[in-house]
Amino acid sequence: MKAVNICIALAMLASRLPASDDPPQSEAAKQGQRVFSQSCGFCHAPDATGTGQAPNLLRSDLVRHDENGNLVGPVIRDGRPTKGMPPVRLSDAQISEVIAFLQWRLADADRTNPADPHAYSMQRLLTGNAAAGKTFFDRQCTGCHSASKDLAGIGRKYSPAQLQARFLYPADIKKSVTITMPSGKQVTGTLLYQDSFTIAIQDPDGWYRSWPTDAVKFQVRDPLAGHLALLPTYTSTVIHNLFAYLETLQ
Ligand code: HEC
Ligand code: HEC
């Protein structure tokens, strides 16, 4: 790979320049660091050097040769679901910021270890504290889950990478909706379709039924809303602890 060799050569050249402090971090890179630690750091480690579950992005040719998101953007948007990398919903601006952060990390890693830009702190495994995770779980999660019921054996059911993906991005769960007809009669079913004019459900007998939205009252419930609303409130320490705890549910 010629391009990689040139990168290494440039990095080695740079290393002969007078030692400087960390490369300056642009505003975009700072912003990207926040987005990254929130959305990616749990799997790839907050400094992008990887964990036992996801690769070191500082060793990724794809990251190194990205130009304006042409290589990394599609991986973020589409994920590699069969390989433990879920699609992550970020705006185009956030994707650019994440890439600015990764490039800043690369520049720093090359400077720190110019002979082998790939060797930078490779070993980083998930080292959460399961006991702390259990305390958090008992406080925050037992409203909807139980370690002895729905999540029993979850650590055995999924590989660590799958479990992370399930926890961060549970499979699409259907919304349920209760329709109240003008007569007062109610029917609850699975939401199939909704726009400004029409609402359609599959009723408990399996039938497709639809109404004009102005003819009925309806209340939609998203079972995942609570789960998803919590995610952005976790720090990566909390997530690592929770994950260590979930892994003990064998
Ligand atoms: C649930 C864990 C998880 C999360 C969250 C996650 N990734 Fe990944 N990522 C992975 C795994 C596992 C792979 C390796 C997939 C494979 O083997 O192809 C990967 C691969 C990648 C790759 C490809 C590396 C290469 O050289 O092939 C990039 C780039 C990447 N992730 C960036 C990100 C970014 C940026 C985010 C946040 C926006 C993110 N990932 C969030 C697990 C994750
Ligand atoms: C407001 C309810 C709610 C809260 C609170 C909640 N979840 Fe969930 N969670 C769900 C729902 C609904 C699903 C999707 C249904 C399913 O897959 O079991 C889900 C899915 C999951 C899954 C994937 C399960 C599987 O079998 O794929 C894990 C793991 C999980 N939650 C862990 C947690 C943890 C840990 C917490 C606390 C930090 C938490 N959840 C908080 C509702 C919630």
Question: If the chain, 250 residues long, is cut into consecutive pieces of 10 residues, what is the mean pLDDT of each piece?
Answer: 36 35 78 91 87 87 84 91 87 94 83 45 51 94 94 85 71 86 95 89 92 94 82 75 88
Cβ 28 vs Cβ 103: under 8 Å: no
Q: Which ligand is nearest to the CA of 158?
A: 2
pLDDT of residue 189: 95
**Region label for 153, one of left (φ > 0), alpha (ψ between -120 and 50) or beta (otherwise):** left
Cβ 250 vs Cβ 163: under 8 Å: no
**68 Cα to the center of ligand 2, angstroms:** 35
- Residue 6 corresponds to which tokens in the numbers above? 């040139």
* Minimum CA distance residue for ligand 2 atom 17: 170
pLDDT of residue 29: 93
**83 Cα to the center of ligand 1, angstroms:** 9
* Minimum CA distance residue for ligand 1 atom 41: 40
**114 Cα to the center of ligand 2, angstroms:** 43
- Residue 142 corresponds to which tokens in the numbers above? 């037992």
The vertex-50 CA angle with 225 and 125, nearest 5°, equals: 90
CA 178 – CA 238 distance, rounded (Å): 36
Q: How many residues does the chain have?
A: 250
In 3D space, the residue among 165, 173, 185, 168 whose CA is nearest the CA of residue 224 turns out to be 173
**170 Cα to the center of ligand 2, angstroms:** 7
Cβ 85 vs Cβ 75: under 8 Å: yes
**29 Cα to the center of ligand 1, angstroms:** 18
Please report where in the chains the tokens 């679901």 appear, as a residue: 81
pLDDT of residue 172: 66
Pocket of ligand 2 (CB under 6 A): 137, 140-141, 143-145, 150, 154, 166-167, 170, 173, 223-224, 226-227, 230, 242, 246
pLDDT of residue 23: 63
